[in-house]
């Protein structure tokens, strides 16, 4: 009897070995019916329930291998028109692993060795078949072992792949977390640093006021000036705190990506800047702009920041002219916001996007230094980039890219 | 203690009008004998030091008080340029900053600042700071001759 190992359910998918351990599906490739019958009788005598098919051409073999699973292939070495090596070739075409045994009238030693090297499992001479049944049993067991091993390897490989995929996911999250932590540290440092400046001013002037007052040396115009500085400090802290809050909100804002028409967004932005535009006589020009994938409100913020900067940093005594154009390249829309303002020197082109870094003092151009850092975050959240090119005293052009059409954003907006 | 033989010309490079006034008050309370010249940013500071317009008739300072955190050209850049300029390199530069971060302190000394001072929170401490500056830099240390 065949050793009755319980067949592992998972191993079944590799091939379908017969569940009944006594069932033996034998494909006999022999042109002699009687020779075939002899061998099958031998197998039946050993206790197997033999289900045979006899074939003798390549097409029949292909058909047989295609039709159903087999447990054993018995091949006569010399069939006119279809030899054992041809049969082996067909067998290999199908990539199955079933014992392939040659049973032949005569076979030279060299041929036998060649056959074994080619992948034949064993060979027998028709007139000395004594060890045939034992050999069949052995080959069936070994085939089963190989099946189980392959199944186990497949399982392992699948698990390894899943693990690798999970690791990659984890690494992505870890990287995001690291970046988020760095930003948080940076943010906290900047917040505390930039808030302590006006606080110091407030504290010092309160003390100075009180001191002078107590010794009766406080002149009214000095009092006014000192109180003025205190109020300035308070305003500055207030503005900074509000600015930081809105910056933080922008970074964490949920956004709903959709198809957005920039010219519609711009129309809204221009009307919200109406007062500024009137006061300065600003001229805003824009033409056809490509539809982008993004959040309409955030796009409005981007344009609002860039346009209000262009108007604010205008040349004294000149109408600010701002032009918005765009081009399409590599599935991205590249926007240009050009102005005729005071410009930015090359050494500052990167600094302008850093939070709180300003190029001018509060008296000439009041501001917090938040606008461009917020704009940069918004553009980057859309998967785009932002940069500037400028000639001092001539003007500046801000470039930013936004995705067109179907492209998924790193944050997971699947489009 | 050496008496100051002449009024010391002090260049204060500071963008905050509030801090400028505080410095003036504190120097006054400290009794320092100085002429305070104020410039609001790095670019103006370099123009002043190089006698470029609009500071063509500027006097060469004996001592510079430099705020590190300036808009536009950063305080560190000003320090670097002063030290690189043969006619300016000898002028003592006292760095004033609200930062206590080691990178800022070390960085200033790496650029050859003469000393690093932290802006205090309380006005009394401001007075004491400038009294100390007056005591050391204007009454104890010898200042170099003004170059051209």
Confidence bin at A14 (pLDDT 50/70/90)? very low
Looking at A86-95, A194-203, A238-247, A381-390, which range is the least confident one? Answer: A238-247
Closest chain B CA to residue A208: B123
- Residue A5 in this model has a pLDDT that exceeds 70: no
Contact B71 A207 (CB under 8 A): no
Flag whether residue A49 sits within 8 Å of chain B, measured between CB atoms: no
Looking at per-residue pLDDT, the higher value among A362 and A348 belongs to A348
> What backbone phi and psi angles, to 5 degrees, belong to B122?
-100, 145
- The larger pLDDT score, comparing residue A151 to residue A6, is at A151
Would the pLDDT of B11 be above 90?
yes
Structure tokens at B122: 């309380």
Q: In this predicted structure, what is the pLDDT of residue A96?
A: 86
Question: Which chain B residue has its CA at the smallest distance from A230's CA?
Answer: B18
Kindly give, in sequence order, each residue whose CB lies less than 8 Å from that of residue A204, ignoring residues fewer than 6 positions away.
Answer: B22, B120, B121, B122, B123, B126
Q: How near does any CA of chain A get to the CA of B40, in Å?
A: 8
Q: Which chain A residues touch B43 with a CB distance below 8 Å?
A: none
Distance from C-alpha of A194 to C-alpha of A362, rounded to nearest angstrom: 14
Probe site for chain A from B13, B15, B19, B21 (most A CB atoms < 10 A): B21
Please say if the pLDDT value at position A410 is more than 60.
no
- How wide is the angle at C-alpha A336 spanned by C-alphas A332 and A342, nearest 5°? 155
- Residues B124-135: tens digit of each pLDDT: 888 899 999 999
The residue among A361, A367, A368, A392 with the most chain B CBs within 10 A of its CB, best to mutate, is: A361
Question: Which of A84-92's residues contact partners 24+ apart within 8 Å by CB, and which partners?
Answer: A84/A29, A84/A115, A84/A120, A85/A115, A85/A118, A86/A58, A87/A29, A87/A58, A87/A61, A88/A115, A88/A118, A88/A119, A88/A120, A90/A58, A90/A61, A90/A62, A90/A65, A91/A61, A91/A65, A91/A119, A92/A119
Interface of chain B against chain A, CB under 8 Å?
Answer: 15-19, 21-22, 25, 40-41, 69, 71-72, 98-99, 119-124, 126
More confident residue, A146 or A356: A146
For residue A328, give every residue at least 6 positions away whose Cβ sits within 8 Å of its Cβ, in sequence order, or none. Answer: A290, A334, A404
Among residues 215-234 of chain A, which lie with CB inside 8 Å of chain B? 225-226, 229, 232-233
**Portion of chain A with pLDDT greater than 70, in percent:** 87
- Residue A406 scores a pLDDT above 60: no
Pick from A208, A233, A362: CB nearest B123: A208
Q: Per-residue DSSP letters for A66-97?
A: HHS--SEEEEES--TT--HHHHHHHHHHHT--
CA distance A238 to A244: 10
Residue partners of A255: CB distance under 8 A and separation at least 6: A294, A295, A297, A298, A381, A413
> With bands split at pLDDT 50, 70 and 90, how would you rate the model's confidence at A414?
very low
Contact residues, chain B, for A229 at CB < 8 Å: 17-18, 21
Between A268 and A405, name the one with better pLDDT.
Answer: A268
Residue A42 has pLDDT above 50, yes or no: yes
Is the pLDDT at A297 greater than 90, yes or no? Answer: no
Mean pLDDT of the A2-7 span:
43
Query: For A34-61, what is the mean pLDDT?
Result: 90
Contact at CB, B18 and A203, closer than 8 angstroms:
no
Q: What is the pLDDT of residue A363?
A: 59
Residue A95: band (very low, low, confident or very high) from pLDDT cuts 50, 70, 90: confident
Residue of B nearest to A366 (CA): B71
Give yes or no for residue A13 having a pLDDT over 60. Answer: no
Predicted local confidence at residue A31, as pLDDT: 85
Nearest chain B residue (CA) to A190 = B99
| Å between A230 CA and nearest CA of chain B | 9
B56 phi/psi in degrees, rounded to 5: -60, -35
Task: Calculate the CA B72 to chain-centre distance.
Answer: 18
What is the structure's pLDDT at A12? 40
Per the prediction, chain A carries an average pLDDT of 84
Instruction: List the one residue out of A328, A311, A307 whose CA is nearest residue A398.
Output: A307
> Is the CB of residue B83 less than 8 Å from the CB of residue B112?
yes
Q: How many CB atoms lie within 10 A of CB A129?
A: 14
**B14-53 residue pLDDT tens:** 998 999 999 999 999 888 889 999 999 999 999 999 999 9
Q: What is the pLDDT of residues A176-211, one digit of tens each?
A: 888 778 777 777 877 787 788 889 899 999 999 999
Task: Using CB atoms, pick whichever of A229, A359, A361 lies closest to residue B18.
Answer: A229
What letter does residue B138 receive in the DSSP assignment?
I
On chain A, the residues whose CB falls within 8 A of the CB of B72 are 348, 358-360
**Band of residue A107 on the pLDDT scale cut at 50, 70, 90:** confident
CA-angle at A215, arms to A213 and A219, nearest 5°: 50
Range with the largest mean pLDDT of A116-120, A242-246, B104-108: B104-108
């Amino acid at each position: 009897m065949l050793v009755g190992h319980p067949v592992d359910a998972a191993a079944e998918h590799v091939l379908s070995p017969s569940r009944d351990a006594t069932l033996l599906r034998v494909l006999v490739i022999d042109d002699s019916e009687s020779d075939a019958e002899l061998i099958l009788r031998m197998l039946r005598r050993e206790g197997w329930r033999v289900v045979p098919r006899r074939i003798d051409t390549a097409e029949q073999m292909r058909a047989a291998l295609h039709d159903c699973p087999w447990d054993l292939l018995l091949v006569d070495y010399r069939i006119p028109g279809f030899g054992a090596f041809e049969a082996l070739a067909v067998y290999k075409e199908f990539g199955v692993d079933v014992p392939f045994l040659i049973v032949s009238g005569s076979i030279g030693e060299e041929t036998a060795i060649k056959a074994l090297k080619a992948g034949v499992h064993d060979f027998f001479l028709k007139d000395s078949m004594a060890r045939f049944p034992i050999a069949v049993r052995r080959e069936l067991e070994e085939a089963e072992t190989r099946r189980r091993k392959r199944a186990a390897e497949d399982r392992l490989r699948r698990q390894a792949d899943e693990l690798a995929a999970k690791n990659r996911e984890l690494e992505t999250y870890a990287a995001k977390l690291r970046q988020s932590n760095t930003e948080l540290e940076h943010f906290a440092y900047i917040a505390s640093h930039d808030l302590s400046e006006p606080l110091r001013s407030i504290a010092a002037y309160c003390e100075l006021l009180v001191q002078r007052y107590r010794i009766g040396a406080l002149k009214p115009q000095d009092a006014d000036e000192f109180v003025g500085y205190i109020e300035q400090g308070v305003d500055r802290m207030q503005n900074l705190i509000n600015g930081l809050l809105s910056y933080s909100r922008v970074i964490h804002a949920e956004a709903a990506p959709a198809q957005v028409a920039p010219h519609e967004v711009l129309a809204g932005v221009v009307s919200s800047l109406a007062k500024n535009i009137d006061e300065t006589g600003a001229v805003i020009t824009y033409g056809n702009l490509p539809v982008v994938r993004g959040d309409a409100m955030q796009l409005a913020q981007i344009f609002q920041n860039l346009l209000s900067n262009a108007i604010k940093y205008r040349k004294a005594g000149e109408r600010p002219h701002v032009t918005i154009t765009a081009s399409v390249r590599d599935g991205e829309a590249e926007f240009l916001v050009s102005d005729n303002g005071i410009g930015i020197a090359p050494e500052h082109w990167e600094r302008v996007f850093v939070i709180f870094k300003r190029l001018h003092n509060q008296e000439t151009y009041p501001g917090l230094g938040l606008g461009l850092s917020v704009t940069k975050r918004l553009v980057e959240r859309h998967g785009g980039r932002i940069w500037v090119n400028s000639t001092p005293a001539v003007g500046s052009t801000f470039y930013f890219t936004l995705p067109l059409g179907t492209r998924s954003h790193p944050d997971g907006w699947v489009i | 203690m050496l008496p100051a033989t002449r009024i010391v010309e002090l260049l204060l490079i500071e963008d905050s009008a509030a801090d400028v006034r505080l410095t003036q008050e504190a120097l006054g309370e400290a009794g320092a004998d100085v002429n305070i010249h104020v410039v609001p940013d790095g670019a103006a500071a370099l123009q002043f030091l190089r006698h470029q317009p609009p500071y063509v008739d500027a006097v060469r300072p004996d001592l510079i008080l430099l705020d590190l955190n300036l808009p536009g050209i950063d305080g560190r850049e000003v320090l670097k340029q002063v030290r690189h300029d043969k006619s300016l390199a000898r002028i003592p530069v006292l760095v004033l900053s609200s930062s206590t971060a080691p990178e800022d302190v070390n960085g200033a000394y790496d650029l050859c600042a003469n000393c690093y001072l932290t802006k205090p929170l309380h006005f009394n401490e401001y007075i004491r700071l400038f009294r100390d500056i007056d005591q050391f830099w204007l009454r104890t240390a010898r200042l170099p001759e003004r170059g051209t």
